[in-house]
Structure 1
Amino acid sequence: MKILLSEDEPQLNHVLEAAMTAVGYQVTATFNGQEAYEKAKNESYDVMIFDIMMPIMDGITLVKKLRQAGDKTYIIMLTAKAEIDDRVTGFDSGADDYLTKPFSLKELMARLRSLERRSDEYAPKVLEKGNVKLDTEKQQLSSTNSISLSNKETDLLGVFMMNEGKEFTTQELFIRLWADEADASADEVWVYISYLRSKLASVGADFEIVGEKGGSFKLVRKGS
């Protein structure tokens, strides 16, 4: 699971990063809201953990900006305040969960494990982008006409459609979709990118996957 952490207190930032990394999570640690916002704009994360009181851009403003930009990533807010108004403000801004400092690391890790188990519940069954619709249950891509996709094609296109304009390295995509397959290699990524490019073109999609073999890829509008 890939996590974006933003906490301005250096010691707590380090403790949280170390604890999450120790159990295998990929953690990007930042120290202010603006830095976190720039990371979130350009990269995809499974969970974001933000302190409310941060310099340059506070956590509430950060969450509002991300939600206004269409980012639906699950967000956990951290705060030293216990007042109900503060929690309500966080939820109203678009946060999904809340932890009040001081909190137990065990509690945070339990919530992250729960999110891993329930991750499919947060994935939309139908994705729409530009003139294209992807039905993840029927594994069907449609626009001017329709075409069937394989399981892996559906999963890969879903990642791109939920993260338009965000770059994914070949290794990130491989870890996300193929890491559990002992006989798979990173070359699989390029093979399936090629399949999807052909199928997007065949339905007349107004966006495309750009990037070169072995490098990074992202979904963009044609002509952008």
Structure 2
Amino acid sequence: MRILLVEDDITLAEALSDALVDERYVVDVAKDGEAGWAQVKALTYDLLLLDVTLPKLDGISLCQRLRMSGYHLPLLMLTARDTSSDKITGLDAGADDYVVKPFDLQELLARVRALLRRGSTTLPPLLTWGNLCLDPNTYEVTYSSRALRLTPKEFSLLELLMANGRRVLSRAVMIERIWPLEDSPEEDAVKAHIKTLRAKLKAAGAPEDFIETVHGIGYRLRQAS
């Protein structure tokens, strides 16, 4: 799941971004309303966390622009204004929920989960490829019933590969889908993660070429038997 956080308080943005990443979300940060608008037009997001008081374009105006432009992604507003009239203004602008600063982090994360569930009618499906099974809901991965202990990035890479099956994915596409824009690594980082992922799959009994390299293009999964 990819989340856009539009917040001009750098300290708060960094802390909240770190907490969301710990929950296995991919997080991009914009520091003003116009930058947030540009980000939403450029990429597909599952949820938007939006401060009300922003430079260049305030949160209420950005929310109204998004809704008038046909964007229906879940939107959670963050604000220091704790009055009924402010909440009504935010909700009438199109926000799905409203949290007052300072907020309890665990409550905010619970609200994020609730909005993401509301935005999807079903839970992500269980992914299987031959003897490999990945559950996006519990973050469990098994090969022939043997559990694999993966890092968050390894899990995300494997989930992406399994969702695309025999389709070849380039390193650039993997970086775009899995890493935040401000933390995009060199393509060699993908190569390193694929190497450790292959080693863990092999240790669980998978063929050495379970993840195939299509030279000059990218990676895909071996044809399932």
**TM norm. shorter chain > 0.5:** yes
Which structure 2 residues correspond to residues 37-116 of structure 1 after superposition, within 5 A?
Answer: 37-116=37-116
Shift, 1:187, TM fit: 2.0
Matched residues in 1 for 2:161 and 2:105: separation?
Answer: 28
Matched residues in 1 for 2:26 and 2:166: separation?
Answer: 20
Structure 2 residue 8 is matched with structure 1 residue 8? yes
Q: What residue is the counterpart of 2:120 in the other structure?
A: 120
After TM superposition, the runs of 4+ consecutive aligned structure 1 residues lying more than 3 A away are 115-119, 175-186
User: What is the aligned-residue identity percentage?
Assistant: 37
CA deviation map 1:141-175 (0-9, x unaligned): xxxxxxxxxxxxxxxxxxxxxxxxxxxxxxxxxx6
Shift, 1:115, TM fit: 3.2
Shift, 1:176, TM fit: 10
Matched residues in 1 for 2:63 and 2:117: separation?
Answer: 24
How many residues align? The count is 140
Which structure 2 residues correspond to residues 134-173 of structure 1 after superposition, within 5 A?
Answer: none
Structure 2 residue 38 is matched with structure 1 residue 33? no
CA deviation map 1:110-133 (0-9, x unaligned): 1222234444239xxxxxxxxxxx
After TM superposition, the score normalised by the length of structure 1 is: 0.56
Q: Describe the SS at the equivalent of 1:70.
A: coil
Structure 2 residue 21 is matched with structure 1 residue 21? yes
Matched residues in 2 for 1:12 and 1:2: separation?
Answer: 19
Q: Which stretches in structure 1 are left out of the alignment for 5+ residues?
A: 123-174, 190-213, 216-224
Distance 1:187 1:15, change over 3 A: same
Matched residues in 1 for 2:157 and 2:112: separation?
Answer: 17
Coordinate RMSD, CA, aligned: 2.9
Shift, 1:42, TM fit: 1.6
Distance 1:21 1:74, change over 3 A: same
Equivalent residue in structure 2 for 1:184, among 165, 169, 174: 165
Letter in 2 for 1:187: V
Task: Tell me if structure 1 keeps the 8 A contact 2:47–2:116.
Answer: no
Q: Which stretches in structure 2 are left out of the alignment for 5+ residues?
A: 123-155, 171-216, 219-225
